[in-house]
Amino acid sequence: MFDLTINGQSRRVDVEPDTPLLWVLRDTLGMTGTKYGCGIAQCGACTVLMDGQATRSCQVTVDSIGAAKVETIEAVEADPVGRKVVAAWIAAQVPQCGYCQSGQVMAATALLRETPKPSDDDIAGAMTNLCRCGTYNAIAAAVRHAAA
Amino acid sequence: MDQILRSPARAPEGTATLSRRHLLGAAAGALVLAVALPARVRAEAQGPAEGAGAIAPKPGTRVPAFLEIRPDGTFRFLSPFVEGGQGIATGMAQIVGEELDVDPARFVVECAPPGPDYAVVNGIRMTGGSFSTRSSYPLMRQLGATARDMLVRAAAARLKVQAAELTTRDGTVVHAASGRTLAYGALAADAMALKPNESAPLRDSKTFRYIGKPVARIDVRDKATGRAVYAIDQKVEGMLYAAVAHAPHPGTEPVGLDNEAAVRSMPGVHSVHRLPGAVAVAADSWWRARKAVEALTVRWSAPKATGLDTVAADFSSDGLLAVLKASAEAGHAAEAEGDVTGAFARAAKVVEAEYAAPYLAHAQLEPPSSIARFNPDGTLDVWLPNQMPELFQGISAKVAGVSPDKVRIHSPMLGGFFGRHFPYDSGNPFPQAILLAKATGRPVKVLWSREEEFARDGLRPLSFSRFRAALDAAGNPTAIEVRTVGEGPIGRYFGALMKTPVDPSAVEGIVEKPYAIANRRMTFTKVAHPVTIAFWRSVGHSMNDAFYESFLDEVAQAGGHDPFELRMTLLKDKPRHLRLLREVADLAGGWRRGPYAAGAGQRARGVSLASPFGSETATIAEVSVEGGEARVHNLWIAFDPGSVVNPAIVKAQVESAAALGTSSVLFEQIVYRDGLRQSRNFDTYPILRREHMPAVHVRIVESGAPMGGVGEPGLPGVPSAILNAIAALTGQRIRSLPVANTKLAGA
């Protein structure tokens, strides 16, 4: 049994200690906004925030979470920065297939909370998630838009 | 241990290859049937559309099959096409909404179930070939107009006025004289009972509000907030999760499990299964199923030692390329014009080159999954990513041992596709889901891990072509000869449709070029691959335009001409292409090849043209070299699809295709060694990352030519423009892809 704090709510889950947070979210809790893409921290589709830091949830075992506060895409608009990011994503018409965009939005939210006026280098450093549709330029435009 | 699962559709005992071919044969056969039969017969073969004795509909005409007008003022549109990022859901809402007089933002678009109403792509149904908008545009406009006409007539009866006195305004019928209005939702039931007028007048295109405008996509909010639902996100009651481990060599089988009892006692495990060419574990969560299946110690039958009829123990991509190069078999004529032999005999100079491109994975970000559920009434529901519902319905029925009319296919939006979701031999998880649902008596969701996806994805075929050109004394090409050896996905999967032995998907991009080279001989020699090959965004164009346009630069260089000027010369009687070349040069601030100083070093540019999927493109790439690697800084693309429905989506699609073209030419390859693919995940199959994404500048040119495709055509010009820029900068002519295999000179 593990007690987790997800989007401000406590959730108790009965899974093996080495279960990745990603699969706790998706299969145990039914929160499918966080996506599985590679399972090896390459793509970032599974990005969530842990104590505000963008984190690849496929690499976080449930027994390592402890009291850390987990935020997922399901609650992104409950946060003022997250709300701005989503609005910018819509204004810039970023998504195509959309599958990576949950992770991209979470990564952008973490970046802008920490660095409200990011430079291009900041964006390059923080926005490392893969997008097979090639929306990278639109993502950068949306991050700048949200920062403006 | 369950019995080895065997569906009635499969061939008996140990003939995995045969049984897979059997499935494939059924697949290709279904399409052949669909094309060969008149629409009416075809529709009847699929069963009545509704009720007993319903008359088979003409595809794209029966309003209630497409449109549900909901009381809450939203409009549910059942689309013939599946949304996978290309924006077709929004495009359909624009086209239908324009004529129906409803704001596209009020549409909810879903992919329709199988049915004869949706066979709107030249009599069949698929999402592919960049066909969706161009094939269905007139039909969908008329469908919207027909529906609006029914609503107006229903309103006329209700209000007891003449239909001619009524107008419409965004989902409402208006009687201006009396000031009365009726919402479409209040009229829907009456309207749908009326006889449709299939020649209801269309809107004057000068008054379009939605078509041709950069209307916002209808799916971006859901996709930006995690609410979009893909196949991988779906769940049905009582469902088991299954993970599979495939045989290392396709075509081999599990012959023994050494620790089955131990694995079965792992947490959450329901059962352990052998499948054709794989083992599976069903459990109460996917992670538990995956851990368990990866804990299984499986003994597999041995692959063949050698040969090219299967992926043998010694198979390698290098070995296959050597076979393609060494082939001496005469080719079938793919294009023959003029006196090629004579032109070479008279040539002042002859240029020759060989080009090769590797196997490529789709690497769409959503790993494939499928849910199968047998219902008490004998029907089967299958949820799966797919580009061709009727084809998957037929195969599902065979695997399940039921008739196709018992199979409901659900087609959720796709987390990228790029050609991934056609049936490819053993390249899709849905037959496994059906077999496991049958074996367990429960609904089962099969999800392939990324590693299993890289192991079984259908691949763009490794490709090879040999080029020769004859030049006259002025350095102008007088003849071109191309020998292509290999195999394409149309020949593999839809070969029965081909009218000649030439596989169009193997030679497209090499034949039917616009250039005035009088003497041409292009041939195709089939050498079948043992590998599961596939359609991949822009298919044959994705490598062939890279080959041809690179070789054309070699011809220019050999003849002492600037590559841009040579193209202008060879296109002097082709106003559409000339205009695009001028447009792209203008977009790039004028043509200059370089090298020239820029940033901290030198850069150079390359140009290319391509004519894919009914559209035309001209591309200029700007490249530098840093640390032996190419950096693409800018891509300028002039794109002429004839006319457009949504310029914002078109630009986004061209940029997306340009990103994939950049990714493929620079980085991507699936290498086989010892019969095994060497890439298992994104760490060993690098795809384009943010730091390599160039700035992409797109100019849409609406020439008014017949509407061409949009999703794929942005790609084919990009690899060759990049290769030509690299050659201009470094003097290195890369003829074997990807670029990453070559250390580049200079800085």
Amino acid present at A53: Q
Alpha-carbon span B683 to B565, nearest angstrom: 42
Q: How far is CA B491 from CA A119, B21, B534, in A?
A: 50, 14, 11
If we measure between CA atoms, which residue out of A53, A55, A59, A17 comes closest to residue A38? A59
pLDDT in tens, A111-126: 999 999 999 999 999 9
Q: Is residue B654 part of a domain?
A: yes
What is the 3-state secondary structure of B413-441?
ECCCCCCCCCCCCCCCCHHHHHHHHHHHC
The CATH number covering residue B600 comes to 3.30.365.10
pTM for the whole thing? 0.93
Collapsed DSSP state (helix, strand, coil) of residue B544: helix
Q: Do A25 and A87 fall within a single domain?
A: no
If we measure between CA atoms, which residue out of A49, A55, A64 comes closest to residue A18? A64
Q: Do A85 and A143 fall within a single domain?
A: yes
pLDDT in tens, B90-116: 999 999 999 999 999 999 999 999 999
Q: Is the pLDDT of residue B81 over 80?
A: yes
Q: Do B580 and B646 fall within a single domain?
A: yes
What pLDDT, on the 0 to 100 scale, is given for residue B19? 31
List CB contacts (< 8 A) between B449 and chain A. 39
Q: Sorting pLDDT into bands at 50, 70 and 90, what band is B747?
A: low
Q: B545: domain range?
A: 320-359+460-741
Helix axes of B16-36 and B389-400: crossing angle, nearest 10 degrees = 140
Q: Is the pLDDT of residue B49 over 70?
A: no
Alpha-carbon span A136 to A133, nearest angstrom: 9
Alpha-carbon span B458 to B360, nearest angstrom: 9
Q: Do A35 and A64 fall within a single domain?
A: yes
Q: Do A64 and A118 fall within a single domain?
A: no
Q: Do B476 and B492 fall within a single domain?
A: yes
What pLDDT, on the 0 to 100 scale, is given for residue B217? 98
Distance from CA of A6 to the nearest CA of B (A): 16
The CATH number covering residue A29 comes to 3.10.20.30
Alpha-carbon span B691 to B693, nearest angstrom: 6
Q: Do A62 and A81 fall within a single domain?
A: no
End-to-end CA distance of chain B: 61
pLDDT in tens, B423-444: 999 999 999 999 999 999 999 9
What pLDDT, on the 0 to 100 scale, is given for residue B262? 98
| E strand segments, B180-312 | 180-183, 240-246, 254-257, 269-275, 278-283, 298-300
Q: Do B295 and B327 fall within a single domain?
A: no
| Number of domains, chain A | 2
Residue B231 in contact with partner chain A when CB distance is under 8 A: no
Q: Do B432 and B545 fall within a single domain?
A: no
pLDDT in tens, B462-472: 999 999 999 99
Residue of A nearest to B366 (CA): A37
Q: Is residue B26 part of a domain?
A: no
| Number of domains, chain B | 3
Q: Do A69 and A81 fall within a single domain?
A: no
Share of chain B above pLDDT 70, in %: 92
What is the 3-state secondary structure of A42-72?
CCCCCEEEECCEEEEHHHCEHHHCCCCEEEC
CA B272 to chain centre: 35
CA atoms within 13 A on the CB side of B311: 21
Share of chain A above pLDDT 90, in %: 99
Residues 73-112 of A with CB under 8 A from B: 73-74, 76-77, 86, 89-90, 93-102, 105
List CB contacts (< 8 A) between A139 and chain B. 690
Distance from CA of B477 to the nearest CA of A (A): 37
| E strand segments, chain A | 2-6, 9-13, 47-50, 53-56, 69-71
- ipTM of the prediction: 0.98
Residues 276-295 of B with CB under 8 A from A: 285-288
Q: Do B145 and B290 fall within a single domain?
A: no
Q: Do A65 and A26 fall within a single domain?
A: yes
CB A145 within 8 Å of CB A91? yes
Residue B453 in contact with partner chain A when CB distance is under 8 A: no
Residues 6+ apart with CB under 8 A from A86: A76, A77, A105, B221, B224, B225
Among A74, A94, A109, residue at a domain's last position: A74
Q: Do B257 and B332 fall within a single domain?
A: no
Q: Do B712 and B692 fall within a single domain?
A: yes
Q: CA triplet B151, B155, B161: central angle to 5 degrees? A: 135
Q: CA triplet A93, A97, A99: central angle to 5 degrees? A: 105
List CB contacts (< 8 A) between A134 and chain B. 655-660, 662-663, 688, 693
Distance from CA of B490 to the nearest CA of A (A): 24
Q: Do A11 and A57 fall within a single domain?
A: yes
Average pLDDT over residues A25-39: 98
Q: Do A70 and A106 fall within a single domain?
A: no
Q: Do B103 and B137 fall within a single domain?
A: yes
State whether A101 and B223 contact (CB < 8 Å).
Answer: yes
Q: Do B443 and B508 fall within a single domain?
A: no
How many CB atoms within 10 Å of residue B254?
22
Among A74, A103, A138, residue at a domain's last position: A74
List CB contacts (< 8 A) between B213 and chain A. none
Please say whether the dihedral angle defined by the alpha carbons of residues B362, B366, B368 and B370, taken in this order, is positive or negative. Answer: negative
The CATH number covering residue A103 comes to 1.10.150.120
Using CB atoms, pick whichever of A28, A98, A127 lies closest to residue B85: A98
Alpha-carbon span B423 to B553, nearest angstrom: 38
How many CB atoms within 10 Å of residue B78?
19
Averaged pLDDT score across all residues of chain B: 92
Q: Do A139 and A84 fall within a single domain?
A: yes
Q: A127: domain range?
A: 76-147
Among A51, A74, A97, residue at a domain's last position: A74
Distance from CA of A67 to the nearest CA of B (A): 23
CA atoms within 13 A on the CB side of B526: 16
Q: Do B235 and B207 fall within a single domain?
A: no
pLDDT in tens, B197-239: 989 999 999 999 999 999 999 999 999 999 999 999 999 999 9
